[in-house]
Structure 1
Amino acid sequence: MIAAGAACATARAQAAGTPPAEPTDGSLCKGGHRMILRVHYEDTDFSGIAQHTSYLRFLERARSNYLRLHGISQGAMFSGQDAMLVVRSLTLQFLLPARMDDLLQVTTRPHLVRGASVALHQQIRCGDRVLLEAEVRVAYVAEGRPGPLPPPLRAALLRDAAVPPPVARPSPGFATGQTRQPSPNPATGHFAMRFAVASQNFRTVTGHAGKTRRFLVFEATTGLPPQEVERFDLPKDQSIHAFRGDGPHPLDSVGVVIAASAGDGFIRRMAARGVVAVATAETDPALAVSGYLAGTLSPEAPHEHDDAEEACGCAQG
């Protein structure tokens, strides 16, 4: 604690010196983002201690910069698509105070990526002292309604969430293990995400996701090619087109469904269950999963629904 206090004191003493050699927006790091900032007079109260509202600005700035470095401009998102990322929930643990001229490091790590939202763990440190821990859930809203996260953004978040978090030293006032972390595959110990690929023939990516009853299930583990781990052969009443009610469904166990075609109704129903649905022209199931994770998945091939398909509700998922 003496060394940590000295580090903060040194930072304050050097406030008039050269700022740290960090990009304005911070930098991407393994599993997330880090940003350096200094506590200014405007951030503090009469005693020189940072006000609690200042931490909210620090955290918001870090989240925005994290997205920007992943190629997501929130300003462009709103002006071009009438879409935005909004905070749905926020939990803060104030542990130690930050003082004027302190040099702080803010880290941001996604740890639970759902279809339309992401849970982030954020931390503010001064030297080796943890000042604040935050759990933030951010949701994607388009035209005033919840919607699936844009595929390139979700792929980037999934890649970061799959990186095991660093071993954290317990901080005063914050229980170890309180932060929800990604779960490892019990068989391999690696962190993995699950995908369901529509495949009526169990060989290629097939279309009409809403009426599909057969899916190849893959696990994608950091640094390894996706592996098929399971197959769904659902009864007719378990196709999403026929499924009714809010009860559990086998597709709830995956984070992403990939098909050759998917109607708006299917996409909406999957998003409501916390699952992203995407359509692609890629025909190889494993390559489709790899392409999604890399953000290079080929878009759905142009096609037309015939009258019979429209009548059966295929176009509505």
Structure 2
Amino acid sequence: MSHRFPVRVFYEDTDMAGVVYYANYLKFIERGRSEMVREQGLDQGKLGAEQGVYYAVRRVEADYLRPARYDDQLEVETIVTEITGARVYMDQNLWRGEELIFKATVMIVCVDKTGMPMALPAENRQQFARGLA
């Protein structure tokens, strides 16, 4: 199962040549992950405030395949590929129509308020599992 989220490239996302600045691809996929998590029923703000459970990106492996440009309409595809005791792995693709322009594998870890690793709560594991491929 994949989640899709539309993103428009704004002028502020680009460099002087009108090409998306490389770090902004990570912002685009963050928005896609955040919307997927929200739609799965996970309220990250509430989890932190009430349970001391936080999610953080531990690792990103990214491939920049084609440049995105000012005013492109893109779509972020997010697929949960694996869930372990304290980690969630996701593949994220950025599409411009039928053209794959960026892809990343992201490892998300569960941590407490001090940043120490902790096991995913069972309920969260089930919510993430709804997005498993």
The percentage of counterpart residues that share the same residue type is 35
RMSD after superposition: 1.2
Q: Which residue number corresponds to residue 42 of structure 2? A: 72
Q: Which residue number corresponds to residue 54 of structure 1? A: 24
Q: 5+ unaligned residues in a row in structure 2: which ranges? A: none
Letter in structure 2 aligned against 1:98: A
Determine if contact 2:47/2:53 at 8 Å carries over to the other structure.
yes
Q: Is 1:93 matched up with 2:63?
A: yes
Letter in structure 1 aligned against 2:126: A
Letter in structure 1 aligned against 2:5: M
Matched residue SS, 1:146: coil
Q: Is 1:147 matched up with 2:122?
A: no
Q: Is 1:160 matched up with 2:108?
A: no
Of structures 1 and 2, the one with the larger relative CO (CA 8 A, separation 6+) is 2
Deviation at 1:123, TM superposition (A): 0.2
Q: What is the rounded CA distance, in whole Å, between the counterparts of 2:54 and 2:131 in structure 1? A: 21
Letter in structure 2 aligned against 1:54: N
More strand by share: 2
Determine if contact 2:9/2:73 at 8 Å carries over to the other structure.
yes
Q: Which residue number corresponds to residue 104 of structure 2? A: 134
Letter in structure 2 aligned against 1:50: V
Q: Which residue number corresponds to residue 193 of structure 1? A: none
Q: What is the rounded CA distance, in whole Å, between the counterparts of 1:77 and 1:154 in structure 2? A: 13
Q: What is the rounded CA distance, in whole Å, between the counterparts of 1:32 and 1:73 in structure 2? A: 19
Deviation at 1:156, TM superposition (A): 2.8
Q: Which residue number corresponds to residue 41 of structure 1? A: 11
Matched residue SS, 1:58: helix
Question: Which aligned pairs between 1:296-307 and structure 2 lie closer than 5 A?
Answer: none
Question: Which aligned pairs between 1:228-243 and structure 2 lie closer than 5 A?
Answer: none
Determine if contact 1:70/1:153 at 8 Å carries over to the other structure.
no
Q: Is 1:104 matched up with 2:95?
A: no
| TM-score normalised over the length of structure 2 | 0.93
Determine if contact 2:92/2:105 at 8 Å carries over to the other structure.
yes
Matched residue SS, 2:131: helix
Q: What is the rounded CA distance, in whole Å, between the counterparts of 2:32 and 2:26 in structure 1? A: 10
Determine if contact 2:41/2:127 at 8 Å carries over to the other structure.
no
1:239-297 deviations in Å (ceiling 9; x for gaps) = xxxxxxxxxxxxxxxxxxxxxxxxxxxxxxxxxxxxxxxxxxxxxxxxxxxxxxxxxxx
Question: Which aligned pairs between 1:1-317 and structure 2 lie closer than 5 A?
Answer: 31-144=1-114, 145-161=116-132, 163=133
Q: 5+ unaligned residues in a row in structure 1: which ranges? A: 1-30, 164-317
Deviation at 1:71, TM superposition (A): 1.3
Distance of aligned partners of 1:32 and 1:153 in 2 relative to their CA distance in 1, 3 Å threshold: farther
Letter in structure 2 aligned against 1:90: V
Deviation at 1:75, TM superposition (A): 1.5
